[in-house]
Structure 1
Amino acid sequence: MSDITTQNPYTNKVIDTYQKFSDAKVKNVLKTAKQTFNTWKLESIDARAKLLDKVANTLHQNIEKYSLLITNEMGKPISESRAEIEKCMFLCDFYRENAEDLLADEIIKTEATESFISYDPLGTKLAVMPWNYPFWQVMRFAIPTLTAGNTALLKHASNVSGCALIIEDIFIKSGYPKGCFQTLLVDHNQIESIIEDESIKAVSLTGSEKAGKNIAEIAGKHLKKTVLELGGNNSCIVLNDANLDKYLDVMVKARMQNTGQSCIAAKRFIVVESIYEEFVERFTTHVKELKSGDPLDNDTTIGVLAREDLADILEEQIEQSVTSGAKVFFGNFRNKAYYQPTVLVNVKPGMPAFDEETFGPVAAIIKAKNNDEAYEMASNSRFGLGTMVFTEDIDSAIKNISKIEDGAYFINEMVKSDPRLPFGGTKASGYGRELSREGIMEFVNKKTVYINK
């Protein structure tokens, strides 16, 4: 069995090497998770939630250490790595303050003396997580999962294995019982046998559409619930009355944050033709002001892609789009894992830049004749993660909510995840929800209790 080697995508230097788990070690991890669940589920909600204070404190005390690890392993600017850790702290605070209310029995009036819904944990949950937000993606599944009384196993992306092990260490240092949260350093070909194990009761995956289908098929064979948060090619609809002075920075950030490596980033800018030329010029001016460079530099706003093969894919998508008639308005320089922020115009349906998820700092700008066509183009997608609309006519934007089938609809703001709000998609972007009340309810048994005295 080959080892896992992590590599800094900016310097190309090897960071560390890890030995993958044998099948026997995996079995022991599964056994430990099941045994721990039998006692962990009996802890009060308050006792479980109190540990979140310790998690948040551990994150706070080690923010520079953890941020450095994130940046070294996947290349995002250090300022964004710090923001990711801070967001994890906010997540802890939300569930610490609200867990008891979210998981409280729900009284239902019936003919019974007493009837209510009780929310019990299911057991051990497996999470298969991506590299683009190596702490946040894990914490947003782990915090509600553990607080609800489940135990958790993590199969993280191999290029952020250091983050995966540090996250396990955070839960241990914060006082969680041994076996509550464990990291699995395994091959993809070991995942099927893990899901098949009787101790695994549910699976959560954030990743590609292909990976989601594979996991759902395996879990479905064994009647195990899944939550899938997959790709997206979110639209940013810019109507003719959009306040560019106020919101243009937001729109650029919506595409370029995390060096464009975000499922909820604005991939397609659908702009009404009356302001199209102005938008292209002003948007590009802002893009040119972004600073590429060493991700460890506090002033850097564009880092590198997490791996060179990801830059290969992005480059091919752009080349195919240009061959089909799109034009490069700015950018399109590539050096190994670095990809220059790029603006494409003349983008139309049928091009990869319109139809597919482009995972990098590339903005596709599309011209719409009018507002109605802009909404039609936005809904013309296999994906359904989120749409953002920029306009001063809020009432009209509200009336068009039902035209968009996505899991999120943001007006005059970029699509983003928030612990207080449910997060997830439709169509090829997956199903189920994370965060908020809906997220913590995904992996509990909603038990009907009926009592006659």
Structure 2
Amino acid sequence: MTDYAVINPATGETLKSYPTISDADLDAAIGRADGAYRSWGRTSSVEERAALIRRVGDLHTERRDELAAIIVREMGKPLEQAYGEVDFAADIYRYYADTSPDVLADQPVELLAGDGSAVIRRGPLGVLLGIMPWNFPYYQVARFAGPNVIIGNSILLKHAPQCPESAEAIERIFADAGFPDGVYVNIYATNEQIEHAIGDRRVQGVSLTGSERAGAAVAEIAGRNLKKVVLELGGSDPFILLSADDLDKVVEDAVAARLDNSGQSCNAAKRFIVLDELYTPFLDKFTAALGAVQPSDPSSEDSKLGPLSSSAAADRLQDQLDRAVAGGAELHSTGERQGNYFAPAVLTGITPENDAYHEEFFGPVASVYKVGSEDEAIALANDIPFGLGSYVYTTDAEQAQRVADQIEAGMVFVNVVLADGVELPFGGVKRSGTGREMGRLGADEFVNKKLIRVG
């Protein structure tokens, strides 16, 4: 079987195929991970584990040219952004290496009655399964594997079928960093094999970043098997514009927030909700600015917008656009689609009856809405099944806090975009998932918070 393959979305060429793991080899891989947890994971010190994770980060930096080139050809990421992702992944590993003593320090509990002491001691759970997406092949793995390996868990990693080469490169980095066999194991597994792995008694938890459909399936299997699960799913993040001193700067930020990773980012701004007096000037400037960014060869150093990740992704986006227009939306297109290269587009006039009102557009398509008040903006922002990120632009500091408090999302960014950081927790509510990654909270998901009470 060759479900895993590198298919360059810029050319459509299949560059390399990888065989799917056999059932016997999958069982052996789970055994290796379990053995690593029960030996090295329990006996090594946090300082030893942190030192090796720091080396993983350093190897990302040393191999950044190789790593960036891989994801340019795997999923069409523009080269400059590919370098940025590699660097961000390296920073995540180093962040957890730096903060691990504080993350795993005993947490005293003040007793209300009785003598003695009580502490919460954080320790590993065991083997964890990570199911990763194609849009950020290194960053997604780093924020899952980095903290959990330092905690003492071992990792089984199933990457997206179109990212086998980056998956292979990450596993090699963990081996070259000096980790014992079984601490980090890459598996080219089918969905059916993943269902089996989640149910395996040796696997203690699963983390998935992906679609709603995949998240629901994994959560159902994990729940049936009483396994801890963290889900980071889709988003249709609102970008609320209520006032501006510099509309050109707001438009610049809006374009950056929509076109990051060629529009294929879960927490990209996708729905632009604009107060009525700013609507027309914003729409005119925004449409023109998007049109100035046209798809180009992702291997070029000056590319800002590459192809969509696959022909299937481009076809899905085209179908969404066609249905949106058929449902009454007005399309402001800034170019023509050529294969997997998708020129930016803007939709207006979307009503609640239109499918586009509720869907996530995973590509360079923006929806712009006009509202008459702050309250209407908040209501529209929240009238969506998702709740991942959000953006608020206003010159009124009190209004910013007031609106941020009322947005139903896991993250709110005020007057700033592309401001994710290694120290900032990432995650959502509603159908955007459960749990958090990154920052201090990201290291607190797959741990045994063990109470030790001494009389």
Identity of matched residues, %: 38
The match for 1:422 among 425, 428, 450 is 425
- Structure 2 residue identity aligned to 1:115: A
Residues 103-142 of structure 1 aligned to structure 2 (within 5 Å): 103-110=104-111, 111-142=114-145
Residues 65-214 of structure 1 aligned to structure 2 (within 5 Å): 65-110=66-111, 111-214=114-217
For residues 251 and 45 of structure 2, the distance between their equivalents in structure 1, rounded to whole angstroms, comes to 47
Does the alignment pair 1:433 with 2:436?
yes
Q: TM-score normalized by structure 1? A: 0.97
Does the alignment pair 1:285 with 2:257?
no
User: How many matched pairs?
Assistant: 452
SS at match of 1:441: coil
Cα RMSD, aligned residues only: 1.3
For residues 177 and 394 of structure 1, the distance between their equivalents in structure 2, rounded to whole angstroms, comes to 51
Q: Note if contact 1:243-1:391 (Cα within 8 Å) is conserved in structure 2.
A: no
Q: TM-score normalized by structure 2? A: 0.97
For residues 4 and 88 of structure 1, the distance between their equivalents in structure 2, rounded to whole angstroms, comes to 23
Shift of 1:349: 2.4
Shift of 1:112: 3.5
Contiguous gaps of at least 5 residues in structure 2: none
SS at match of 1:176: coil
Counterpart in 1 of 2:62?
61
Shift of 1:166: 0.7
Q: What are the Cα deviations for residues 182-223 of structure 1, in whole angstroms up to 9, with x where unaligned?
A: 111011111111111111000000000010010011011110
Counterpart in 2 of 1:382?
385
Does the alignment pair 1:345 with 2:348?
yes
For residues 260 and 177 of structure 1, the distance between their equivalents in structure 2, rounded to whole angstroms, comes to 38
Q: What are the Cα deviations for residues 350-407 of structure 1, in whole angstroms up to 9, with x where unaligned?
A: 3233211110000111111122211110011100001100111121110222311100
Q: What are the Cα deviations for residues 80-116 of structure 1, in whole angstroms up to 9, with x where unaligned?
A: 0000001011112211111110110001121341210
For residues 239 and 119 of structure 1, the distance between their equivalents in structure 2, rounded to whole angstroms, comes to 44
Shift of 1:415: 5.8
- Structure 2 residue identity aligned to 1:270: I
For residues 273 and 48 of structure 2, the distance between their equivalents in structure 1, rounded to whole angstroms, comes to 49
SS at match of 2:43: coil
Q: Greater shift after overlay, 396-405 or 278-287?
A: 396-405
Q: 1:276 to 1:138 in 2, by over 3 A?
A: same
For residues 337 and 293 of structure 2, the distance between their equivalents in structure 1, rounded to whole angstroms, comes to 16
Shift of 1:325: 1.6
For residues 103 and 84 of structure 1, the distance between their equivalents in structure 2, rounded to whole angstroms, comes to 27
For residues 242 and 432 of structure 1, the distance between their equivalents in structure 2, rounded to whole angstroms, comes to 37
Counterpart in 2 of 1:4?
4
Residues 267-416 of structure 1 aligned to structure 2 (within 5 Å): 267-331=270-334, 333-414=336-417, 416=419
Q: Greater shift after overlay, 286-295 or 343-352?
A: 343-352
Contiguous gaps of at least 5 residues in structure 1: none
Counterpart in 2 of 1:29?
29
Q: Greater shift after overlay, 421-430 or 324-333?
A: 324-333
Shift of 1:2: 4.1
- Structure 2 residue identity aligned to 1:351: N
- Structure 1 residue identity aligned to 2:106: D
Shift of 1:240: 3.2
Q: Greater shift after overlay, 35-44 or 122-131?
A: 35-44
Q: Note if contact 2:5-2:163 (Cα within 8 Å) is conserved in structure 1.
A: no
SS at match of 1:195: helix
Q: Note if contact 1:409-1:415 (Cα within 8 Å) is conserved in structure 2.
A: no
For residues 83 and 418 of structure 2, the distance between their equivalents in structure 1, rounded to whole angstroms, comes to 20
Residues 216-255 of structure 1 aligned to structure 2 (within 5 Å): 216-241=219-244, 243-255=246-258
For residues 312 and 335 of structure 2, the distance between their equivalents in structure 1, rounded to whole angstroms, comes to 16
SS at match of 1:335: coil
What stretches of structure 1 move > 6 A for 4+ residues in a row?
none
Counterpart in 2 of 1:44?
45
For residues 158 and 282 of structure 1, the distance between their equivalents in structure 2, rounded to whole angstroms, comes to 39
For residues 378 and 3 of structure 2, the distance between their equivalents in structure 1, rounded to whole angstroms, comes to 48
SS at match of 1:115: strand
For residues 408 and 243 of structure 1, the distance between their equivalents in structure 2, rounded to whole angstroms, comes to 24
- Structure 2 residue identity aligned to 1:247: V
Q: Greater shift after overlay, 393-402 or 241-250?
A: 241-250
Q: Note if contact 2:327-2:355 (Cα within 8 Å) is conserved in structure 1.
A: no
- Structure 2 residue identity aligned to 1:229: E
For residues 61 and 411 of structure 2, the distance between their equivalents in structure 1, rounded to whole angstroms, comes to 30
For residues 416 and 265 of structure 2, the distance between their equivalents in structure 1, rounded to whole angstroms, comes to 16
Shift of 1:172: 0.6
Q: What are the Cα deviations for residues 310-365 of structure 1, in whole angstroms up to 9, with x where unaligned?
A: 11111111111111221112336222211111111222323233211110000111
Q: 1:443 to 1:323 in 2, by over 3 A?
A: same
SS at match of 2:105: coil
SS at match of 2:351: coil
Q: Greater shift after overlay, 347-356 or 92-101?
A: 347-356
